[in-house]
Amino acid sequence: MVMPTVLADRFAPLDYPEYANNHVFVKTAGNHGLYNHSHEHHNNHGDHQNLGLAKQLIGEAFRQRVESVDNEFCNPGDEDPFFVADLGEVYRQHLRWKLNLPRVKPFYAVKCNDDPKLMHMLATLGTGFDCASKNEIELVLKMGIDPSRIIYAQPCKTNSYVRYVAEKGVRQMMFDNPDELRKIARLFPDAELFLRILTDDSSSLCRLSLKFGASLDSTDGLLALARELGLNVMGVSFHVGSGASDPKAFLKAVQDAHWVFQQAATHGFDLKTLDVGGGFCSDASFEDMAGVLRNALDDYFPAHSGVNLIAEPGRYYASSVYTLACNIIARRIIGEEHSQANGTSYMIYVNDGVYGNFSSIMFDHQHPVAKILRAGKRFLFDTAAAAASPDANAIEYSVWGPTCDGLDHITESIRFDTTLNEGDWLYFEDMGAYTMCSATTFNGFSNDHDVIYVCSEPGALALLGRL
């Protein structure tokens, strides 16, 4: 029997008391912030049960928090946005990765979400870390991670950062141009280098080839220069773009990488590693993408080739872990007649927006979908009534953020069967990737929001030492 657990990291400004009701999380003495749910659950019914348990734990965490907030009397900030994060989802995503890409070791892209709890879970699962700056590398090293599990995956690096990683023993890094090779030769000649090649990322959400990657007609010259400078080229890397949607992009990139491997051999390099980058989504597209990549790797870099295979997934691990709750802070009626029959619609304003955790709308081309968490006294999480209505006669809403900028617009139009009022709550799923990491304090709004952690997987609890 397993006690599902909430890891309550930053319950501010409220501290939850002891409750007798068995539908809330109970703080127990000596548990260092653990909040234990009083129901026990069997752990031998597979993923379906654990997914159901995940919804239950997330819902109960939301219920306890929102029902503790009285908008008429609460202290400033009590109704601020907050996340619920299920660390069990990280564990499930890792098992999914190992099932579909068993030969490829993931190096988590820290830039996607640097939440220490998420990164600790990934470190415990054995992943490496893809870092792009001194601060990201320092964050990982402070977790006690060996430098060999870090890739400085930034093709154009700051001089002082190169000196820093040389001092700390982080040897793996990227290059894609002659100037970068000369910089490395001057500052860190013992580095283990990956040649980042250009790929077709035209089908991705965020294209990277516009900024990074050596074209195939330049790779021979770069390899020749690396040999002349006495540098140690260990492998090839590519990135098909963040949020890729065309599986064939992986096939072409693997073919190109194989050609560069052969080219490197003519310069006396014995390449040992292929880095297939990121681009993996957490939705149902992953299996198709992984299938194409897996087959390409088996064809061009089979197991007997002795080539190590690594990747840099970010959103794949982080996106579905986090669910965000926002409070409706204001409402405006649109339309001459204030009645649904005459086509009334509402503008609703929530206390988070595109300058905050919805920055993914502007920077990552995401389209978060609002659901109703609590309306009046009704708690609607994970019910049919929470979702948008297909009825064209349902009440229409547009959803706006809290700043004074007209660009702070979350949803142009969504319909619900429920009338929403000031003080009600909405929630948004899949909010873990490129959200909190790029939130700002524009207009004086905080970018430091509470995260309530739950864990719906017994295996993850065991790894965290919570059983």
Structure tokens at 13: 């400004």
Task: State the pLDDT at residue 340.
Answer: 47
Residue 138, SS3?
A: helix
Structure tokens at 106: 């993931």
Residue 458, SS3?
A: helix
Structure tokens at 52: 């159901």
Task: State the pLDDT at residue 284.
Answer: 86
Are 412 and 398 a contacting pair, CB within 8 Å? yes
In this structure, the strands spanning 104-109 and 128-131 are: parallel
Residue type, 17: P
C-alpha span between 55 and 288 (Å, rounded): 26
Q: Which of 257, 263, 265 has its CA nearest to residue 297?
A: 257
Q: In the chain, which segments carry CATH 2.40.37.10?
A: 5-86+319-463
E runs forming strands in 40-181 = 82-86, 104-109, 128-131, 150-152, 172-175
Domain 87-318, CATH: 3.20.20.10
C-alpha span between 261 and 44 (Å, rounded): 46
Four-point Cα dihedral 296, 299, 301, 302, nearest 10: 120
Q: In the chain, which segments carry CATH 3.20.20.10?
A: 87-318
> Whole-prediction pTM value?
0.85
Phi-psi region of 338 (alpha: psi -120 to 50; beta: other; left: phi over 0): beta
Structure tokens at 36: 């234990």
Q: Is the dihedral of CA 82, 206, 139, 158 positive or negative?
A: negative
Residues 119-122: contacts with CB within 8 Å, 24+ apart?
A: 119/143, 120/464, 121/87, 121/90, 121/91, 121/460, 121/463, 121/464, 122/90, 122/94, 122/317
Total number of residues shown for the chain? 467
**455 classed as catalytic:** no
C-alpha span between 283 and 264 (Å, rounded): 36
Task: State the pLDDT at residue 272.
Answer: 96
Q: Which of 382, 357, 385 has its CA nearest to residue 445?
A: 357
Query: How many CB atoms sit inside 10 A of residue 87's CB?
Result: 25
Question: Is domain 5-86+319-463 in CATH 3.20.20.30, yes or no?
Answer: no
C-alpha span between 171 and 191 (Å, rounded): 5
Compute CA 139 distance to the chain's CA centroid, rounded to the nearest angstrom.
17
* Residue of 112, 131, 404, 455 with catalytic role: 404
Instruction: List all residues 6 or more positions away from 409 whose beta carbon is below 8 Å from its beta carbon.
Output: 353, 354, 398, 399, 400, 401
Mean pLDDT in order along the chain per 10 residues (467 residues): 38 26 28 35 50 92 93 84 96 97 98 95 96 96 96 95 97 97 98 91 48 88 98 95 67 94 97 94 89 96 96 96 97 68 81 86 84 96 96 93 84 95 96 83 74 93 73
Residue 90: Cβ-neighbour burial (10 angstroms; 0-12, 13-18, 19+): buried
H or E stretch at 414 = strand 409-416
